[in-house]
Amino acid sequence: MGTVAVGGVSVAAGLAARLAAGAATAVAVGGVVGVAATIGSLALSAAFKKVPSFHCRGLFYKNCLPDKVVMSLAVLQDLPSSKELFHGDSTIQSLLGQLQTTFRFTFSKDKERHLKVTNFPSKNIKGWRFTQCNPPVISESHVVDYSASKGSEPPYIQVSVKPDQSEPVADEMSHALSIDGIQTSSDASTVQWNIEVSKNDLLSTTPSSIVAATSTERARAELVIAPVIPEVAYRVVSECISAFKHCGLGLHFLAEKLLEKKIINNRQKKKATDECSRCTTDERMDQLLDIIKDSVQQEGKVFEYILEILKDEDTILANKLYDDMINKYEQYK
């Protein structure tokens, strides 16, 4: 195709120049928009990073039993409505023991909002043996789930300390565990969990006269119920099953005992104690209790095993539930 010259410049050349200028303008504008979008995105991201996590309260508990001391770290949202759980009698204290002290913190974003307890001793310290009772990790989502559902069992990490009779045992022992993945008001990223136990903790638990009387009563009760009638045992367990959530039995303790008695298998135990499960602690506890009911209905011996688990728990509420179940069984048989 030919071109027409106007004033020494071709029309085609003029059009080409205008198109080139338009393209350059578009690129420039697009670049500005792209930069602006990037800056906005970074600003928004930075703003979100500056938003603090909600505040939590870490609570240290100590429960002295005849043969061991159980130490627990529970985590709750630090809300006005939670104050009643921090002090005085509560379901949490019946589960974990006496409240010792508390501290305030937020979950660290650098640690994926997971609190973790470390520095567990690999061997005995002065004759005292440490045992982890459950996984040493609590996530921010677990705390949120508990606050939303108000279940009977808060997120907690538990360790038991007991004398190892195979070697000399010191009268007192102390060891500091480390709590990581948090941020305190003083910008500390680690808090110490001081584990302090003594032989006096064990000796002062229960007067010997009460222990002797209780043992006699239980031995007598066991003789009365044998052999167990499954139909009667099932009725008793069905009526008392809700009390299992409020007698101090922790989910991990119960799962361990049920596995020990072969009422559940390893797969069922793992499912029940999986803290990353979509099911809440309450829902997982309900699953175990359903297994107990079904097992008792099919095999009366399981009823005796459940009574033994309550004896091993050996708290005031667990002992009361034990007696209630024995009395109901005698009444219904």
The CATH number of whichever domain residue 64 belongs to comes to 2.60.40
Please say whether the beta carbons of 249 and 158 come within 8 A: no
Is 2 a member of any domain?
Answer: no
**Strand 56-64 versus strand 98-107 pairing type:** antiparallel
Is 107 a member of any domain?
Answer: yes
Q: Are residues 14 and 108 in the same domain?
A: no
Question: Which of 158, 174, 203 finishes a domain?
Answer: 203
Q: Which domain holds residue 137?
A: 56-203
Q: Are residues 317 and 240 in the same domain?
A: yes
Is 238 a member of any domain?
Answer: yes
Is 322 a member of any domain?
Answer: yes
- This prediction has a pTM of 0.51
For the chain, how many structural domains are there in total?
3
Q: Are residues 169 and 214 in the same domain?
A: no
Q: Are residues 161 and 228 in the same domain?
A: no
3 state SS of 126: coil
Is 3 a member of any domain?
Answer: no
For the chain, how many helices (H) and strands (E)? 12, 12
Q: Are residues 91 and 124 in the same domain?
A: yes
Is 151 a member of any domain?
Answer: yes
Is 36 a member of any domain?
Answer: yes
Local confidence pLDDT in tens for the 333 residues of the chain: 444 333 443 434 444 445 445 544 444 444 444 444 444 444 444 443 444 468 999 999 999 988 899 999 999 998 876 666 655 546 677 778 888 899 999 998 876 889 999 999 999 999 999 999 889 999 999 898 888 875 667 899 999 999 998 889 999 999 999 999 999 887 778 899 999 999 988 876 544 443 444 444 444 344 345 578 889 999 999 999 888 888 878 888 899 989 988 999 999 999 988 878 788 888 899 999 999 999 999 998 899 999 989 888 878 888 889 989 988 888 887
Please say whether the beta carbons of 150 and 282 come within 8 A: no
CA dist., res. 86 & res. 104, Å (int): 12
3 state SS of 329: helix
Q: Are residues 60 and 159 in the same domain?
A: yes
φ/ψ region of 150 (left if φ > 0, alpha if ψ in -120 to 50, else beta) reads: left
Burial 282-312 (b: 16+ CB within 10 A, else e): bebbbebbebbbebbbeebbbbbbbbbbbee
